[in-house]
Amino acid sequence: MAAADTNVNFAPYDLDGDCYVDVVNIVHQGTGEEASPATSASDIWSHSWNLAAARYWGNTQYGVYTTNDSCTANSALQVKINDYIIQPELLSKLNKKNFVKSTVGVFTHEYGHAIGLPDLYDYDNSSQGVGKWSLMAGGSWNGISQGGDRPAHLDPWSRTLLGWSAPTL
């Protein structure tokens, strides 16, 4: 963040005037551990989280980052960064020379978390939850030519939670 802070004005990314960047989207080099678990133990698992929680759970080098940019809503305050999502540039490695670029599935799934949606699959792998029918479950991996190139839409429950649709009872 510090390296980007010297060149980026983060103030326009606070869309609700609370002096926090709404979410930072990070694309890391290489593959994500979720797609290629055997590739490298150092691969990063795609996720949505926040810097304050990382600090709380013992990663003391992290915490809410204060930028050098003034908040538009209150110029006496600096813009802060807390929430982030991170995904890989590559979906997988076919061999030492050929790589498959990341598809939109993981990006859209992690963005779903950034706007307030939970995972809709079981963390213990006992089931797929709502499976391929939701972006927030296995549907983020739906594809025609490769996994994630045609992810599922948001399911009705998620759309209702976000206020994007109203159920008819």
Chain segment 76-108, per-residue pLDDT in tens: 999 999 999 999 888 776 656 677 788 899 899
Chain segment 115-127, per-residue pLDDT in tens: 999 999 888 878 8
Q: Which residues contact 67 (CB under 8 A, 6 or more apart)?
A: 1, 5, 10, 21, 78, 79, 80, 81
pLDDT at position 129:
85
Q: For residue 62, is pLDDT > 60?
A: yes
What letters, b where the CB count within 10 A reaches 16 and e where it falls short, cover 149-163?
bebbebbeebeebee
Judge whether 129 and 109 are in contact, CB under 8 Å. Answer: no
Name the percent of the chain lying above pLDDT 90. Answer: 50
pLDDT at position 40:
67
State mean pLDDT over 129-142.
Answer: 92
**Residue that the structure tokens 């797929």 belong to:** 128
pLDDT at position 136:
95
Please choose, from the candidates 26, 21, 25, the residue with its C-alpha nearest in 3D space to the C-alpha of residue 82: 21
Q: In which element (H, E) is residue 113 found?
A: helix 104-114
pLDDT band at 31 (very low <50, low <70, confident <90, very high): confident
**Residue that the structure tokens 């326009």 belong to:** 12
pLDDT at position 2:
86
**Number of Cβ atoms within 10 Å of the Cβ of 69:** 19
pLDDT at position 19:
97
pLDDT band at 39 (very low <50, low <70, confident <90, very high): low
pLDDT band at 151 (very low <50, low <70, confident <90, very high): very high
Please choose, from the candidates 54, 147, 145, 80, the residue with its C-alpha nearest in 3D space to the C-alpha of residue 107: 147
In whole angstroms, give the CA distance from residue 106 to residue 23.
16
Listed by start position, the domains of the chain span 1-95, 103-164
pLDDT at position 57:
73
